[in-house]
Amino acid sequence: MMHRRTFALAALVLLAACAGNPWTVDRFEAPEADVASKKTFLYTPGEVAAQLARQPEIATRTEAQVRAVIVGELQRKGYVEVSGAAGADMVVTYQASGMRRFVESDQRRIGAPSPNQVLTPGSMPRRPASELPPELSVREVSLVVFVEDPATSKLVWRGLVNAELRTDSLEGVVRQVTDMARDIMKQFPARRARDKK
């Protein structure tokens, strides 16, 4: 009885961990930047490439949602948004790009014969000419959040996620790109309060 509870609890913790952060974030921070000591940031609109950009309403929705995530997460970590570059310690923007491709589906037909039945010489059934090969739509998406020093225009921090999204819905892609932005910004260092003298 105790083993079942322990196993169920372990499975639940593993499931929660997998669901919490499905993306692998590749991040870079310039050693000399000391990002956590900065106080203010200026957000500039990002670039949305590929199929999302061809539909203005989808591109606008992507920009609004990604902006809300980036600005919200920076404010939660103690940074203050400013409206001009003159008062900003950092300039924050992003770039989203992607392409759609088709791959052969690995789903097996129900009731299909086993490989042993069809992979013998002379018994390979021919595929009907009218049947198309099974394909699956896959979107390869990259999202990069850039943080630059406004005085030097040098990169001080960067977070990147590359992922394959298996969805045909552009709304689903926007939702997942927003989740990518959230996971990237969770990796951004929290503001360190300066010592008061």
List, for residues 132-141, the tens digit of each pLDDT value: 555 556 678 8
Distance set, CA 156 to CA 51, 114, 125, 162 (Å): 30, 56, 60, 20
Q: Distance between CA 123 and CA 135 in Å, rounded?
A: 25
Q: Distance between CA 83 and CA 162 in Å, rounded?
A: 30
CATH of domain 34-104+134-192: 3.30.160.180
- The pLDDT confidence band at residue 55, using thresholds 50, 70 and 90, is confident
Higher pLDDT, 78 or 62: 78
Q: Is residue 118 within 8 Å of 124, Cβ to Cβ?
A: yes
Tell whether the model's pLDDT for residue 10 goes beyond 60: no
Q: Hey, CA dihedral for 144, 148, 152, 156, is it positive or negative?
A: negative
Q: Which of 10, 14, 28 is nearest to 188 (CA)?
A: 28
Q: Distance between CA 123 and CA 102 in Å, rounded?
A: 30
Enter the pTM of the model: 0.69
Higher pLDDT, 53 or 65: 65
Q: Hey, CA dihedral for 52, 53, 55, 57, is it positive or negative?
A: positive
Higher pLDDT, 9 or 116: 116
Here the tokens at position 53 are 């950009």
- The region, left, alpha or beta by phi > 0 then psi within -120 to 50, assigned to residue 34 is left
Percent residues over pLDDT 70 in the chain: 63
Higher pLDDT, 165 or 25: 25
SS3 call for 84: coil
Percent residues over pLDDT 90 in the chain: 38
Q: Is residue 30 within 8 Å of 155, Cβ to Cβ?
A: yes
Maximum average pLDDT range among 49-53, 73-77, 83-87 = 73-77
Give the pLDDT mean for 74-100.
Answer: 90
Looking at residue 44, its pLDDT comes to 95
Q: pLDDT tens for residues 141-150? A: 888 999 999 9
Looking at residue 17, its pLDDT comes to 43
